[in-house]
Amino acid sequence: MKFYRSFLVLIEICIFGTGALIIGCLIFPTLSLFVKEQNRREYFSNIIHSSWKFFIDIMQKTGVINVNIEGDLSNIKGKIVAASHPSLIDIILLIGQMPKSLCLAKKELLKNPVMHNIVKSLYIINNIDPEIFKKNATEALKDGYNIVIFPTGTRTLPDEHIKIHKGAAQLAIASGTSIIPINIKTDYPFLIKHHSPLDAGSKTVNYYLKVMPEINPQNYMDTTDSEIKARNHISEKIKEYIN
């Protein structure tokens, strides 16, 4: 059974990689010839949302995973989504459920020939001048896009003591946008750090996504005269919700 499930995971990884190659090297460049630059983000984000939703559907129908959602992800709009990050497919799960959603990426990914068109159109580059990053991210939020942030910065292991980076809180204060924390958990260490990606156990892996209460940055700014203190309080609240 474990061998069969590992084989399914291998096939699905190949499907995802092939899909990314076709989208990044064929579909997006072709559409760029016909779609105006100011409209590309909307077109391309819809394609990624639909294709990633389809990929998760494949994983569920083959019995590799089962996704359980508590709360409404599909109607989140123009928010900062701060999620826990236990596994490799967390971003696929989230964007597959939330239309008009973007995430962060390092500028070095722009040099990747497969990912260049995807990153250029759908990601917010975060390792640039902080003011430019805030401006780009705030404009995207005002246009109704969600921005997905993993405050831990990397995947975390079960029961690991997590450290929260303050980027989500900083962006919330700068843009005046609320944060929606999402707690993601699994009942098996699938696609986590230091484990083989082919290890899917002997039965369906359950993912549990829980939408936590919204965090309004203005509530914290009203109770202190220090942006640093407000940022720290917001980050602690995020940690409480996603841990």
CA 98 – CA 156 distance, rounded (Å): 23
- pLDDT in the model for residue 200: 94
Say what the alpha-carbon torsion angle 226, 229, 231, 234 is, to the nearest 10 degrees.
-130
- Which of 60, 99, 83 shows the shortest CA–CA distance to 91? 83
CB 166 within 8 A of CB 80: no
CA 141 – CA 111 distance, rounded (Å): 26
Residue 109 pLDDT exceeds 90: no
CA 96 – CA 45 distance, rounded (Å): 10
Q: Please give the average per-residue pLDDT across 46-68, as a whole number.
A: 96
Q: Please give the average per-residue pLDDT across 137-166, as a whole number.
A: 92
CA 154 – CA 156 distance, rounded (Å): 6
- What lies within 8 Å, CB to CB, of 24 at 6+ separation is 114, 115, 116, 117, 118
DSSP string of 135-187, one letter each residue: HHHHHHHHTT-EEEE-TTSS---TTPPP---SHHHHHHHHHT--EEEEEEEES
This prediction has a pTM of: 0.93
Percent of the chain with pLDDT over 90: 70
- pLDDT in the model for residue 96: 95
* pLDDT tens string 207-223: 999 999 999 999 998 88
Q: Count other C-beta atoms under 10 Å from residue 238's C-beta.
A: 27
Place of tokens 């290890």: 199
Average pLDDT along the chain: 92
- What lies within 8 Å, CB to CB, of 130 at 6+ separation is none
- pLDDT in the model for residue 114: 67
**pLDDT band at 224, cuts 50/70/90?**
confident
- pLDDT in the model for residue 238: 97
* pLDDT tens string 111-131: 777 677 777 777 888 888 888
Rounded to a whole number of angstroms, the distance between the first and last alpha carbons of the chain is 32
